[in-house]
Amino acid sequence: EQDSQRMIARFSPLLKNALDEVFNKFSSDNGETLTKGEVSNFLVKVNGQLGRGGTWRHTTALFQKKEEASKPAVMTRQEWYGLFARELAEGKWWQVVHDLEICGAEIRSKASSSSHHYQGWLDYVYFDSQSLACLGFQEALTSSELSRVYDEGDALPNAWHPSDHLPIAGLFAWH
């Protein structure tokens, strides 16, 4: 819980505004809370159904704890932030972006890219240049695959690449 609160304190204004926008959109009490039904409506909107995804698991656990403690089955705004803090802590930034955007929130900076596909680098290969020389590296996608993604709109994952993770590799030699 402390980790979640530290993560929430580091939310950017853009992320916090998008979270607030979506929370308010699903709330029927002027943005005070979300009922179990309202959370279910959100989950169906982002996942297409109930019973799948990290947000569903986290909200199910939250409501179960509240039931066991005989507390009202509502989610506060702070608990909503905590839901997304946990998703981000698990490395599911793409899921957070998807969930917020599918609900109509603007989460990406207008200046970031003209592409409608998210592109970011999360994996790196670090090496000590005093001991090793990088002789080359593997491109993550071929030029035809890049064209399919950026020119034809064939986002990852898809039929020809069943993951949104791309392999990275480098060739090194000792000095």
Residue 166, number of CB atoms within 10 A of its CB: 15
State the pLDDT at residue 100: 93
More reliable by pLDDT, 76 or 169: 76
Is the CB of residue 74 less than 8 Å from the CB of residue 33? yes
**Residue range 97-131, pLDDT digits in tens:** 889 999 999 876 554 445 555 555 566 778 888 99
Tell me the pLDDT band of 165, cut-offs 50, 70 and 90.
Answer: confident
Task: Report whether 109 contacts 28 (CB < 8 A).
Answer: no
Q: How many CB atoms lie within 10 A of CB 54?
A: 15
Instruction: Give the C-alpha distances (Å, rounded to integers) separating 149 from 36, 94, 106, 173, 174.
Output: 38, 17, 22, 33, 36
**Structure-model confidence comparison of residues 123 and 44, the more confident one:** 44
Mean model confidence pLDDT for the chain: 85
Predicted structure pTM score? 0.64
* Greater model confidence, 53 or 119: 53
22 against 11, higher pLDDT: 22
Please enumerate in sequence order all residues whose Cβ is within 8 A of that of 147, keeping only pairs 6 or more positions apart, or say none. none
Model pLDDT, residue 89? 82
What pLDDT was estimated at residue 84?
A: 92
Max CA separation in the chain (angstroms): 66
- Residues of the chain with pLDDT > 90, as a percent, come to 43
d(CA 55, CA 65): 15
Going by pLDDT thresholds of 50, 70 and 90, the confidence category of residue 16 is very high
